[in-house]
Chain A
Amino acid sequence: MKLHLWRRYRFCASHRLHSEQLGEEENRRVYGKCNNPYGHGHNYVVEVAVSGQVDEATGMIANLSDLDAFVEHEIIEPFDHKYLNEEIAAFQKNVPTAENICIEIFNRLRVFPHASLERVRVEETGLNSFEYAGEPAGGTHEPHQ
């Protein structure tokens, strides 16, 4: 049977949306309030889905303590209470939109050794969310909430 095991995590961070490829005026027009030079923050929620065979001995796709420790090390520790633009290398060149955060989190978690990463969902606020499932050879995934 096809199963996805989902786990929900949280981190709080600040960011500023500003593209080096756009002028000051254009940045203000595109990003609005999010272009504030001092940055601003969110309480991010991250949902991670993994899949794999259910181990008969444990009833589990992956032991949650392994998944939690991996996500803690790869995501929560580096992202929580940080200024993403300055403190996460990827966002020194990519704008830390929730889209790019979602992709960065997926790329960091794809090497989880105990199950296959299926999907990452990021809520920037309770009103907007973003999903990324990698780039499969046969086409793109669709969200399916």
Chain B
Amino acid sequence: MVYLTRKIEFSASHLYHNPAFSAEENRRVFGKCNNPHGHGHNYVLEVTVAGEPDPTTGMVLDLKELKEILQREVSDRMDHRFLNYEVPELSGQIPTCENIAMVIWRLLEAKITRGHLYRVRLYETPDLFVDCYGEGRGGREREGTAH
């Protein structure tokens, strides 16, 4: 098994607000992230695909193909967008790093047809990031059981 990782960056704005909370509770739970005008990040996304290299090409999957999938599914949807209002997949959710990573996992999983999506790592800042393993258990436990 080989693990191949491709990185992209996108910049987007968001805010955290739960309409079921009072104004006071929103401020308490979400702090600065509750600013009604929103704020932004330079997100860094690392997508890891696991698979066996094709004996003819030596590739798990064609990086060009993965690059196009990431462009179409993630950059075109999220880059220079206000995530709360412009990304339907996030509507009704708080656009935390956790929720964005899960949305990206769902967008990518079925599109990757060579190898399988192993991990989506999304950095909101260099000091805060989330790893999503889909329904896998995390770490390398998934190895040897997924196919």
Q: Which A residues fall within an 8 A CB radius of B?
A: 1-9, 49, 51, 54, 57-61, 63-65, 118, 133, 141-142, 144
Residues in B13-30 with C-beta less than 8 Å from chain A:
16, 18, 20-21, 29-30
Interface string of B72-116 (1 = CB under 8 A from A): 000000000000000000000111111101100100000000000
B135 is an interface residue with CB less than 8 A from chain A: yes
Of A63, A64, A144, which one neighbours B128 at CB under 8 angstroms?
A64
Q: Which 6 A-B pairs have the closest CB atoms?
A: A59-B94, A59-B96, A8-B127, A4-B131, A2-B133, A2-B138
Given contacts A59-B99, A142-B140, contact A3 B29 (CB under 8 A): no
Q: How many residues does chain B have at the interface if contact means C-beta atoms less than 8 Å apart?
A: 32
B60: interface (CB < 8 Å):
no
- How far, in whole Å, are A59 and B140 apart by their CA atoms in the complex? 26
In the complex, which residue of chain B has the Cβ closest to the Cβ of A52? B98
Please pick, from A9, A54, A118, the residue contacting B138 in the complex, using a CB distance under 8 A: A118
